[in-house]
Structure 1
């Protein structure tokens, strides 16, 4: 029973860390990115964004809303991290790099689009794209460092498996790599359109 309680405590600690990091990086960091983007494109001040917010208007309620959304998405990110953690391999720095790239490219590709005003009005467009890739990448890096160094260090990665389990892990890793490359190609294509 002690092992189950310890495992549950570790999972909850990762979820809490994900929420805090999501609020800080996605919420506060996202607000800073929005401020920098409007400074670079002052003619976008007052324009309604694709998400229905007025660009250049920084209110307490809007900032708190962004922090709340960042916190919720941070918890979702932590759940995803716990689900894919067993696919990670290699030295610690490689696992951090893998999650950083996956979060940046994967989430960045979901955020970047070629229609609307968010990536067509804000200039330079490449800075906007990089900003919306950098925020989730920073979250992925921070969560991996916190989770692996402080919370889950005692849990082996990957779990010990037989030959069939090992082959399955490598097939799933290869599929994840293919999805990552496809996402990167799609993101590059979107960037070429808006830049």
Structure 2
């Protein structure tokens, strides 16, 4: 049951993460209209937007000799190198048109990844784990106690956001049917498996 103290957090519903985009998530476009419909049931809606400057250090193109999806060590930890995506002011950074209704009614739009030397997956923190987006305080000010996460990608920005919501004292639910994953290989399983292990360990509910 959806309560007045719930917030729907729509993670990165952007053109570049949908089929045809530079960092496309398989089936990413298929969840946009269902998310927009779901958003009408929530009193509070938050939308996040990846918002990278050109030449961001998380782009493989900024790391000579490196290829997308390799990992490197950054001062703040391991960093996956991505294709250039969601560059500020480009069409790929725009929201998918099927989500327009939810964006128009959002309480907040949280832009992340604007620091050129630090990536940002979570809606709450940049990847240095020290720089806050301000979302936690804004939700508390609105009386929100539970965050429901949908969007892209399930195993990266959605997962990091949900885990940080728990760390910030909110209940957290991820709706699998309203999210899609990258599913990168890991030493054991995939990035989906790694995310779900963390969900189980830290009290995030992953619901169908």
TM-score (norm. length: structure 1)? 0.28
Q: Report the structure, 1 or 2, having the larger strand content.
A: 2
- Larger Cα Rg: Structure 1 or Structure 2? 1
Q: Report the structure, 1 or 2, having the larger helix content.
A: 1
TM-score (norm. length: structure 2)? 0.27
